Amino acid sequence: MNNQSKPIDQKTTATAHMKTDTTQSSSENSISQMKGSANAKKDTAATNKASIGNRYKTLADLEYKGKQVIILNNNRTTFSKSDLSLSKGSWQSFSNVDSLNRVGVANAMLSKSLMPTEDREPLYVNPTGWKNKKIKVNGKTEWLYNRSHLIGFQLTGENNNPKNLMTGTRSLNDPDMLIYENKVASYLKRTNHHIRYQVEPIFRGNELVARGVHMQAKSIEDNEVEFNVYIFNVEQGVTINYTDGSSSVQSTATINNKTTSSTINRDTSSSNNNTTSVSTSGLTVYPGDKATVSVKTKPNVQGTIEVDYSSGPSHASGLEPKTSDNKGNIRWIWEVGTRTKPGTYNVMISVNGETIKKHLVVK
């Protein structure tokens, strides 16, 4: 009996082989599934990349037809679920400049904690296509270009970062981008919530000046804030050469089909020929002081003010367009930055068809 083979041994051996075969098959299936999952992720990533590339080209090929801000995708963002995750908390990131030194897309998960507590320093970085000059359109003298932040300074305090600055027209920067930035900033201050934010400059080919910017934002903890817009980088009455940033002012007939009013380049506070007077008693200040301009004009007319520092037009709080009260009074009060260099700076006040030039003296 000791020399006979035991059936149980054969069965055990067969069972072992079956287990080995099953384990191997299961392992192969697992590897196959992993490869399939990995390939699926690669395909999804490739599809998403292609979709983004197609969207970029579509925007780059758009032609301006009189409307500077265009709503995209019914104002709904195209962020993915992972894009909206709060797993990393608050953050911001910028693309490296390309071979032409142009900026790329900027992303952020914004919150109040990222917002600056110090005044903004003067800007000195010159982005691609920076051929700035003062122009006169419809009787108003102004700078054509601003050093435009992709992620606005008021949102994260990012300032002289070459990866965050592009050459943008005054109207692109203020009011168009600023309107959306202010909406985001107001929400963050009021709620202490988060907003997923993205700004992408859109270039055509190898041009050095962007044709526009694509802005998206969505609040995370609620649905209060969401927008998806494209803003053309244009300026009324100006033809821009996007290849290098050079520009030319169109003829007055092209601007508004009639003769435009000329700029009133004067330093007097009143004139018998005009209905607007300006008080400049609050325009001699020290860095950190509040400057004041008071205007007397007709009731219920809109006025704008521009303060031109050496770095370009100021975007300080208090310099927004205003409407005169029922007695014709307008007052602008703003804080001069603590790092503003002593000097004399132009202040352009436009009210009721008049543009009046004054001077801010910083001691």
CATH number of 300's domain? 2.60.40.1930
- Supply the mean pLDDT for the chain: 82
Give the pLDDT band (50/70/90) at residue 23. low
Please give the residue that has the higher pLDDT: either 46 or 294: 294
- Based on the fold, state whether residues 226 and 147 are members of the same structural domain: yes
Q: Strands 329-335 and 290-296: what pairing?
A: antiparallel
Identify the pLDDT of residue 84.
97
Identify the pLDDT of residue 125.
93
11 within some domain: no
Give the pLDDT band (50/70/90) at residue 323. confident
pLDDT above 60: residue 30: no
**pLDDT tens-digit series, residues 263-308:** 333 333 333 344 678 887 778 888 888 899 999 988 888 788 888 8
Please give the residue that has the higher pLDDT: either 187 or 21: 187
- Average pLDDT on 74-99 reads 97
Backbone angles phi, psi at 205, to 5 degrees: 60, -130
| Residue after which a domain boundary falls, among 256, 285, 312 | 256
- Based on the fold, state whether residues 335 and 210 are members of the same structural domain: no
Give the pLDDT band (50/70/90) at residue 27. low
- Based on the fold, state whether residues 233 and 286 are members of the same structural domain: no
Residue range(s) defining the domain that contains residue 325: 277-362
- Based on the fold, state whether residues 109 and 241 are members of the same structural domain: yes
- Based on the fold, state whether residues 211 and 76 are members of the same structural domain: yes
- Based on the fold, state whether residues 101 and 198 are members of the same structural domain: yes
The most confident of 31-35, 231-235, 318-322, by mean pLDDT: 231-235
pLDDT above 70: residue 41: no
Instruction: Give this prediction's pTM.
Output: 0.60
Read out DSSP for 245-294? Answer: --EEEPPHHHHHSSPPPPPB----S--TT-S-EEEEEE-EE-TTPEEEEE
Give the pLDDT band (50/70/90) at residue 315. confident
Identify the pLDDT of residue 349.
87
The most confident of 29-33, 189-193, 200-204, by mean pLDDT: 200-204
Residue with tokens 């003296």: 361
Q: Which of 38-42, 128-132, 336-340 has the lowest mean pLDDT?
A: 38-42
Domain CATH code at residue 214? 3.40.570.10
Instruction: Provide the residue count of the chain.
Output: 363
- Based on the fold, state whether residues 304 and 225 are members of the same structural domain: no
- Based on the fold, state whether residues 206 and 115 are members of the same structural domain: yes
Identify the pLDDT of residue 262.
33
Distances (CA, A) of 121 to 132, 210, 283, 327: 20, 25, 20, 37
DSSP state, residue 174: I
Neighbours of 135 (CB within 10 A): 18
Is residue 101 left, alpha or beta, with left meaning phi > 0 and alpha meaning psi from -120 to 50?
left
Identify the pLDDT of residue 39.
57
- Based on the fold, state whether residues 87 and 164 are members of the same structural domain: yes
pLDDT above 50: residue 139: yes
**pLDDT tens-digit series, residues 341-357:** 888 888 888 887 677 88
40 within some domain: no
| Residue after which a domain boundary falls, among 196, 222, 256 | 256
192 within some domain: yes
- Based on the fold, state whether residues 194 and 301 are members of the same structural domain: no
Residues 189, 187: Cα–Cα separation, whole Å: 6
Helices (H), 219-339: 252-256
Neighbours of 41 (CB within 10 A): 10
- Based on the fold, state whether residues 194 and 99 are members of the same structural domain: yes
175 within some domain: yes
333 within some domain: yes
351 within some domain: yes
Backbone angles phi, psi at 199, to 5 degrees: -130, 125
Pair 129, 209: CB distance under 8 Å = yes
Helices (H), 226-355: 252-256
- Average pLDDT on 212-220 reads 98
Q: Is 136 helix (H, G, I), strand (E, B) or coil?
A: strand
- Based on the fold, state whether residues 74 and 130 are members of the same structural domain: yes
Count of domains forming the chain: 2
53 within some domain: no
